Each structure stands twice: as structure tokens, then as C-alpha cells.
Chain A
Amino acid sequence: KQEVTQIPAALSVPEGENLVLNCSFTDSAIYNLQWFRQDPGKGLTSLLLIQSSQREQTSGRLNASLDKSSGRSTLYIAASQPGDSATYLCAPAVIHYGGATNKLIFGTGTLLAVQP
């Protein structure tokens, strides 16, 4: 059974810092891995999608890497801003689950606070 762990659970940094959020998963048989952002009381916003054949994906100040063999992904946020404050969730899409093509397994997230 796929289990996802995100470290740290919470992080507080001053504005402008570069930071890394970590995600580990136990089953390397995945289609892809998505990183999401969730603001309080809101839905999930997709940030990046890394296919299982890719090593990394970039969007603006965000860079996500994937090492499928070791079951690890990282989300790098450059030059953090107060508007980046949110919960960040990673979710690998598992292959073997009753035929579902895109079942996402979620970690509990990292709560990020960027102080102005």
C-alpha cells in the first residue's frame, strides 16, 4: 500500500529565502507525481506535474524533482514571498489500484508560513 510522508510538517521562513519541501513515498510504481497548494478552507491548486519518466519540472519560482527509484520528490521554492504561505501537498498517482488510471495518494502536507 502506498504511503506518503511529507517533511517538515510545518515551516516558517523569512521572506526571500529559498526553501525545500520533501516528499517520500513507499511504492515506486507510479504514473506521475503532482504537487498542490492549498489555502485555508479552499480547494487544491495544481502546481506541477512530473511524469514518472522525468527527473524534474519547473514553473516560475518552483522546481520539483523526482527520484522514483528512491521514492523521493522535492519542491524547491526560490525567493519565497508572503503570498506563498499555504499548505503544500504531494500526491503520487499509483498504477496498481483496481484499474484506476489516476488514483492520487496524498501526504498530510507541509504548512508553510513566509514572514514579511
Chain B
Amino acid sequence: DGGITQSPKYLFRKEGQNVTLSCEQNLNHDAMYWYRQDPGQGLRLIYYSQIVNDFQKGDIAEGYSVSREKKESFPLTVTSAQKNPTAFYLCASSTSSMHTEAFFGQGTRLTVV
């Protein structure tokens, strides 16, 4: 089945730890995105990548890092510098064309313990 796979579904982080969220797509999409969702707020863009080996900061990039070494993969690292990391993280992808549909994964819920 074509789609976007995020793992793990649930993740627990201790204070001061870095954790990495996985996002893989087999849709052959060039563009990939990471969003954060908090209760009562709309989704906010963390990072996006339009092509392999290139990525750009979104609205709330502080405390996060990404890499795009392969077209199908766009992992997100939540570093210890992110002061409030507890949230629902969503990965998305689309073709690079400006007129195309974006598709989302099932999300990873990160909790700080």
C-alpha cells in the first residue's frame, strides 16, 4: 500500500534526552513536512524539505533538527533544547508541484516523563 509511515506511535522522553521520530513515504513525493499539533491549536510547521539534501525551517524550528538523505525518509530529532516537546507530531508529503494534494501519516505522540 502506498502511504506515509510514522514510527513509533508513542514515544516517551526523559528530560535532557534527544529522541528521533521516523517518517517514511513510498509515494515517490519530493516534498516532505513535519508539523506539531497541540490541544486547541492548529498544526504548526516545524521543518520542510522540497528535495533530497535540502530542508528549510518552518515557524517553530527551535529545538528540532532534521535530515533528508533519502527521498523516502525525513526523520525529525527532538533535542534537549526543545523546552516543551510533549505534543502530537505529524509528517506529510506532497509532490513538488504547487497545485498538489498533501498526505499525512498517522502521527507520533511524544510525552516527556
Closest chain A CB from B82 CB (angstroms): 20
A107-B42, A108-B40, A109-B42 known; A98+B56 contact, CB < 8 A: yes
Does A106 sit within 8 A of B, measured CB to CB?
yes
For B113, what are the chain A residues with a Cβ–Cβ distance below 8 Å?
none
B56:A51 contact, CB within 8 angstroms: no
Partner of B98, one of A43, A46, A102, A109: A102
For A34, what are the chain B residues with a Cβ–Cβ distance below 8 Å?
101-102
For B88, what are the chain A residues with a Cβ–Cβ distance below 8 Å?
41
A104:B99 contact, CB within 8 angstroms: no
Give Cα distance in the complex from A44 to B58, angstroms: 19
B: which residues have CB within 8 A of A? Answer: 6, 31, 33, 35, 40-45, 48, 50, 56, 58, 88, 90, 92, 94, 96-107, 109
A: which residues have CB within 8 A of B? Answer: 4, 31-32, 34, 36, 41-46, 49, 51, 89, 91, 93, 95, 98-109
